[in-house]
């Protein structure tokens, strides 16, 4: 395999080369670092790259391998983390100039677990300021450039840098966080796989909070198998995050990954997901039903009114706004003018909300989650567009605060349903627009059923070639 092609390989493919001795972790890291140096001045996906630290970790991984102490299929794999996630000794800025001196004193649990699995940290990726924003715009640190178009298009947020870094082949995996779609939106718009995990499966300890009710951590990868590998390495109970107390100590999502979908019950959720969606998006996602039928799944349509009810119940984002305001109220009082206006208008909703409104919304969403589980009892997963529209030009979305307020909910509408209802969700590439922009299929499963949605996504991926397309980055070199 020519070195110039390494960046488009999946971690599973790279792992086979590393364990066979054909590729060393150091050579792979050097390749990734060279690619970041070549392209990221225009892509702007990374907030921080610590070259010496990354190479030292890669060298340690190579030595462990030679000593027969390989940690498994992720050993030696470069990865990046969203700059909400603590890495000891490095700043966690959460996309804001207000936290430039916020040096982490310890690793987040997910970083510690990935390091234990042998992965090697390359750097920290950009994020929307304090993770508030679906289009992926950051006026403090700059907005990453969607790799699929020479003219700046939105990358999706809030894990904007992670989406661009993986989509452009700078790193094979990057972690993101998902509170209302922040893993799935950039994954869909940048042509990658993105896994939104169920709250309680993966620890959030050491992750800058947006909303403890909805925050989750998940990977953006080049393949479904890679997402499964990372998920399995990260998940499990953690005393530092009380939400994970019910998580099983171990879950095997890999053994059944290749079992196919024959006999599974899949359904298009006929509800708000399709309203005002782009025609090319609708066509691409609907076409997935034929693929699943050919693979032996039972594909039907179901009414899913809970989706619209979930959007109505938390329509103004009161839960995340209140919880975010609690995290920010002291800093807002002292440094309000230093916040991005597109962030403050949403956080300040939390200041004005009453305790009654917040608690009633929590109760209503909990009741809707239980109702959704009953509706989905007889299906293994439902299908919908990840985003109702593809990536749009950055200048159009960021033309004014009013333009931003118009487009922001259009990117997050479909994804945030899963957060409100406590579902797990996977996005996989399922087509491209006439402008060559990626389209994502969202596979939604019941909470704590990541194994099923990964199995479904893997079957679809193996039956199609959308994931094999790569962007032409000649404009960025």
Tell me the per-residue pLDDT of 320-347, one tens digit each, with 9 for 90 and over. 999 999 999 989 888 988 898 878 888 8
SS3 440: strand
Helix axes 341-352, 318-335, angle to 10 degrees: 110
**Which residues make Cβ contacts (< 8 Å) with residue 366, sequence separation at least 6?**
none
Query: Which residues are known to be catalytic?
Result: 82, 158, 182
What mean pLDDT is predicted for residues 421-445? 98
Residue 74, pLDDT above cutoff 90: yes
**445-461: string of b/e by CB count within 10 Å (b at 16+)?**
bbbbbbbbbbbbbbbbb
* Partners of 269 in beta bridges: 302
What mean pLDDT is predicted for residues 30-48? 98
E strands present in 328-446 = 381-385, 424-432, 438-445
pLDDT tier for residue 3 given thresholds of 50, 70 and 90: low
pTM: 0.98
pLDDT tier for residue 389 given thresholds of 50, 70 and 90: very high
Tell me which H or E stretch contains 268: strand 265-270
- pLDDT score at 344: 84
Percent with pLDDT over 90 in the chain: 92
Token reading at 290 = 């034929």
Token reading at 5 = 């092609």
Distance of CA 402 to the CA centre of its chain: 26
**60-85: string of b/e by CB count within 10 Å (b at 16+)?**
ebbebbeeeebbebbbbbbbbbbbbb
Residue 1, pLDDT above cutoff 50: no
Higher pLDDT, 342 or 54: 54
What sign for the dihedral angle of Cα 103, 108, 112, 117?
Answer: negative
Chain mean pLDDT for the chain: 96
E strands present in 156-211 = 173-177, 193-196
Helix axes 224-234, 109-116, angle to 10 degrees: 110
Q: Which domains can be identified in the chain, with CATH numbers? A: 3-9+128-476 (3.90.1300.10)
**Cβ pair 208, 84 in contact under 8 A:** yes
- Give residue-wise pLDDT tens across range 303-316: 999 999 999 998 77
- Give residue-wise pLDDT tens across range 108-139: 999 999 999 999 999 999 999 999 999 999 99
Instruction: State the burial class of residue 254 (Cβ atoms within 10 Å of its Cβ: 0-12, 13-18, 19+).
Output: middle
Please tell me whether the peptide bond between 158 and the residue prior to it is cis, using omega within 30 degrees of 0.
yes
**Which residues make Cβ contacts (< 8 Å) with residue 325, sequence separation at least 6?**
332, 347, 348, 349, 350, 351
What mean pLDDT is predicted for residues 231-260? 96
Residue 2, pLDDT above cutoff 50: no
Percent with pLDDT over 70 in the chain: 99
- Give residue-wise pLDDT tens across range 146-168: 999 999 999 999 999 999 999 99
**Which residues make Cβ contacts (< 8 Å) with residue 176, sequence separation at least 6?**
82, 158, 159, 162, 163, 182, 183, 186, 187, 194, 217, 218, 219, 220
SS3 196: strand
Rounded Cα distance, 261 and 215, in Å = 30
How many C-beta atoms surround the C-beta of residue 311 within 10 A? 18
- Give residue-wise pLDDT tens across range 402-426: 999 999 999 999 999 999 999 999 9
């Amino acid at each position: 395999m020519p070195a110039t092609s390494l960046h488009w390989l999946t971690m599973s493919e790279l792992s086979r080369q590393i364990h066979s001795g054909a590729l060393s972790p150091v050579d792979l890291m050097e390749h990734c670092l060279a690619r970041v140096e070549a392209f990221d001045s225009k892509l702007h996906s990374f907030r921080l790259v610590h070259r010496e630290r990354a190479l030292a970790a890669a060298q340690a991984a190579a030595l462990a391998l030679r000593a027969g102490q390989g940690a498994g299929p992720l050993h030696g794999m470069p990865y990046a983390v969203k700059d909400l996630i603590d890495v000891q000794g490095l700043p966690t800025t959460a996309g804001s100039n207000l936290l430039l001196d916020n040096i982490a004193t310890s690793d987040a649990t997910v970083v510690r677990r990935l390091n234990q699995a042998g992965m090697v940290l390359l750097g920290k990726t950009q994020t929307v300021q304090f993770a508030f924003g679906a289009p992926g715009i950051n006026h403090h640190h700059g907005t990453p450039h969607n790799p699929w178009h020479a003219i700046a298009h939105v990358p999706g947020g809030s894990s904007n840098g992670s989406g661009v870094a993986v989509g452009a082949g700078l790193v094979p995996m990057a972690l993101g966080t998902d509170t209302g779609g922040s893993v799935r939106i950039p994954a869909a718009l940048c042509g990658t796989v993105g896994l939104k995990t169920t709250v309680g499966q993966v620890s959030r300890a050491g992750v800058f909070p947006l909303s403890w009710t909805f925050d989750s951590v998940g990977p953006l990868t080049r393949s479904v198998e890679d997402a499964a590998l990372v998920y399995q390495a990260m998940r499990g109970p953690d005393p530092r995050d009380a939400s994970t107390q019910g998580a099983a100590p171990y879950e095997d999502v890999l053994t059944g990954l290749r079992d196919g979908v024959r006999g599974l019950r899949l359904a298009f959720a006929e509800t708000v997901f399709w309203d005002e969606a782009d025609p090319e998006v609708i066509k691409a996602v609907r076409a997935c039903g034929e693929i699943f039928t050919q693979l032996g799944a039972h594909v039907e349509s179901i009414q899913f009114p809970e989706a619209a009810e979930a959007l109505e119940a938390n329509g103004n984002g009161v839960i995340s706004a209140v919880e975010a305001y609690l995290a920010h109220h002291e800093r807002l009082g002292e440094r309000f003018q230093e916040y991005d206006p597109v962030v403050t208008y949403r956080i300040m909703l939390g200041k004005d909300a009453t305790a009654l409104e917040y608690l009633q919304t929590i109760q209503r969403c909990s009741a809707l989650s239980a109702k959704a589980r009953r509706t989905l009892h007889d299906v293994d997963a439902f299908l919908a567009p990840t985003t109702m529209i593809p990536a749009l030009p950055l200048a159009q979305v960021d033309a004014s605060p009013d333009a931003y307020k118009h487009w922001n909910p259009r990117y997050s509408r479909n994804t945030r349903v899963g957060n409100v209802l406590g579902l797990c969700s996977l996005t996989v590439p399922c087509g491209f627009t006439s402008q060559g922009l990626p389209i994502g299929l969202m596979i939604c499963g019941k909470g704590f059923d990541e194994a099923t949605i990964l199995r479904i996504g893997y079957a679809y991926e193996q039956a199609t070639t959308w994931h094999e397309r790569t962007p032409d980055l000649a404009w960025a070199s």
